[in-house]
C-alpha cells in the first residue's frame, strides 16, 4: 500500500473522481494556475483543462453561489475556500441556500456540492486566520460535515463526498497537509457518518477528530506509562455523528474526555457530551470532561498561541483527575 501525504491523498481523490465522472469539476481561488494554496490541486489544470479546473475571483460568495448553481444544474462541483475563515463571507450561500434548497423545492432539486477548506491554529497566522468553525456548520440542518485526520480517511471520505447528493463541508486541518500515511488504491471509499476506533483501550475513552486525534494519541501514550489504558475514537464525520460507536466505547470504559481545538463555549464537544448523557448516563462513572482551546481570539505571539491551544498534557491531567 503506497504512503502519501495528506495533501497528495486529497489530490489523488480529486483526480480519480474527475477521471470517473466528467461532471466533477473544481473551482476556487488559485486552484488552477497556482495549483491550490496548499497544492492540493497540483497538476489538475494541465490534466483536465480550464473548463474543469476554474480559477475564480477573490469573492467567496461568488465561489459558493456559482457552485450551488452548477450543482442544481446537474454538475458535481468541488469548491475550495482558501481558508475556513473566509467562509464567513459565504455564509448566506452556505446556510440559506446550499443547506436548504433540497427542502424548499420539496426534494425535487439536489445540491451535490463539496466545499473543501482548511482550518486550524498553531502557525502564527493571527486571530482572523486561526479559527475552527465546525460548530457553525454542524448547527445547520441540511449540511454534512466531515473532518478527516489521516491521509487514508481524507482520500476515502473525499471520494464518497463527491459522489454524495448532499451539500458537504469538508474540513481539512492546515497542520495535516504534510502528514504521511498508507493510502489504499484506486476505488477506495469510506462511509459518511461512521467513526472508527483508532486505538483500543479499557479505562477511558478519548473522543477526537481532525488534528485533535494526534493530541489524543500522544496523551494515550503518556497515560499508558501511568498504567491507564485509553481508547481513542476518531469521529471522522461530525454531522451525522456516529453515536453507536461512541456509546459502545463508553460502555467499556465508563469515562469520557472529548478533545477539540475549537473554542470551548458552544464547542461540538458539548453536543457530544449531552448526547452521551442522554443515551448513556448509566454507563458513566465520572462526569464527561472537555479539553479545548481557550475562549480567546487566537494570539499572534507564539507562546501565547500555544497557551490558548489544547495539548496532550492537558488531556493527561484531565484523565488523571478523573481517575
Q: Which residues are catalytic?
A: 60, 129
Contact in structure between 261 and 121 (CB atoms under 8 Å): yes
Question: In sequence order, what DSSP letters do the residues of 158-222 get, joined into one string?
Answer: HHHHHH-SS-EEEEEETTSTT-EEE---TT----TT--EEEE--SSEEEEE-TTHHHHHHHHHHH
Q: In what order do the strands lie in the sheet with 114-119?
A: 53-55, 24-28, 76-80, 114-119, 168-173, 144-146, 237-239
Task: Determine the Cα–Cα distance for residues 306 and 302; give it in Å rounded to an integer.
Answer: 6
Helical packing angle, 212-225 and 312-322, nearest 10°: 50
Task: Determine the Cα–Cα distance for residues 323 and 53; give it in Å rounded to an integer.
Answer: 53
Cα 273 to the chain's mean position, in Å?
Answer: 19
Q: Which residue has the cell 467562509?
A: 87
Cell of 11: 489530490
Work out the angle at residue 191's Cα, subtended by the Cα atoms of residues 188 and 192, and round it to the nearest 5 degrees. 130
Question: In sequence order, what DSSP letters do the residues of 303-323 get, joined into one string?
Answer: HHHHHHS--HHHHHHHHHHH-
Work out the angle at residue 192's Cα, subtended by the Cα atoms of residues 54 and 36, and round it to the nearest 5 degrees. 25
Question: In sequence order, what DSSP letters do the residues of 89-116 get, joined into one string?
Answer: GGHIIIIIIITTHHHHTTTS-----EEE
Task: Determine the Cα–Cα distance for residues 46 and 53; give it in Å rounded to an integer.
Answer: 9
Amino acid at each position: 500500500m503506497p504512503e502519501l501525504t495528506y495533501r497528495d491523498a486529497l489530490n489523488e481523490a480529486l483526480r480519480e473522481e474527475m477521471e470517473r465522472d466528467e461532471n466533477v469539476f473544481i473551482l476556487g481561488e488559485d486552484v488552477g494556475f497556482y495549483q491550490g494554496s496548499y497544492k492540493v490541486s497540483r497538476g489538475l489544470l494541465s490534466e483536465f483543462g480550464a473548463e474543469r479546473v476554474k480559477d475564480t475571483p477573490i469573492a467567496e460568495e461568488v465561489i459558493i453561489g456559482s457552485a450551488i448553481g452548477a450543482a442544481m444544474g446537474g454538475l458535481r462541483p468541488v469548491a475550495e475556500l482558501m481558508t475556513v475563515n473566509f467562509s464567513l463571507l459565504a455564509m448566506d450561500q452556505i446556510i440559506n441556500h446550499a443547506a436548504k434548497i433540497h427542502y424548499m423545492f420539496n426534494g425535487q432539486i439536489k445540491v451535490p456540492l463539496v466545499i473543501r477548506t482548511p482550518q486550524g491554529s498553531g502557525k502564527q497566522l493571527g486571530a482572523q486566520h486561526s479559527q475552527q468553525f465546525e460548530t457553525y456548520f454542524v448547527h445547520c440542518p441540511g449540511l454534512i460535515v466531515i473532518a478527516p485526520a489521516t491521509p487514508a480517511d481524507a482520500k476515502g471520505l473525499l471520494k464518497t463526498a463527491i459522489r454524495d447528493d448532499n451539500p458537504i463541508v469538508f474540513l481539512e486541518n492546515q497542520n495535516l497537509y504534510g502528514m504521511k500515511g498508507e493510502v489504499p488504491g484506486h476505488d477506495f471509499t469510506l462511509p459518511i457518518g461512521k467513526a472508527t476506533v483508532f486505538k483500543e483501550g479499557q479505562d477511558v475513552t478519548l473522543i477526537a477528530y481532525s488534528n485533535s486525534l494526534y493530541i489524543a494519541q500522544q496523551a494515550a501514550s503518556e497515560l499508558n506509562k501511568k498504567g491507564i489504558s485509553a481508547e481513542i475514537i476518531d469521529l471522522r464525520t461530525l454531522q451525522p455523528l456516529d453515536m453507536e460507536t461512541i456509546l459502545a466505547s463508553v460502555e467499556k470504559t465508563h469515562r469520557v474526555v472529548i478533545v477539540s481545538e475549537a473554542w470551548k463555549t458552544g464547542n461540538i464537544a458539548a453536543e457530544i457530551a449531552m448526547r452521551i448523557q442522554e443515551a448513556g448516563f448509566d454507563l458513566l462513572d465520572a462526569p464527561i470532561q472537555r479539553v479545548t482551546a481557550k475562549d480567546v481570539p487566537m494570539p499572534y505571539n507564539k507562546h501565547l498561541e500555544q497557551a490558548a491551544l489544547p495539548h496532550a498534557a492537558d488531556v493527561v491531567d484531565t484523565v488523571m483527575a478523573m481517575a
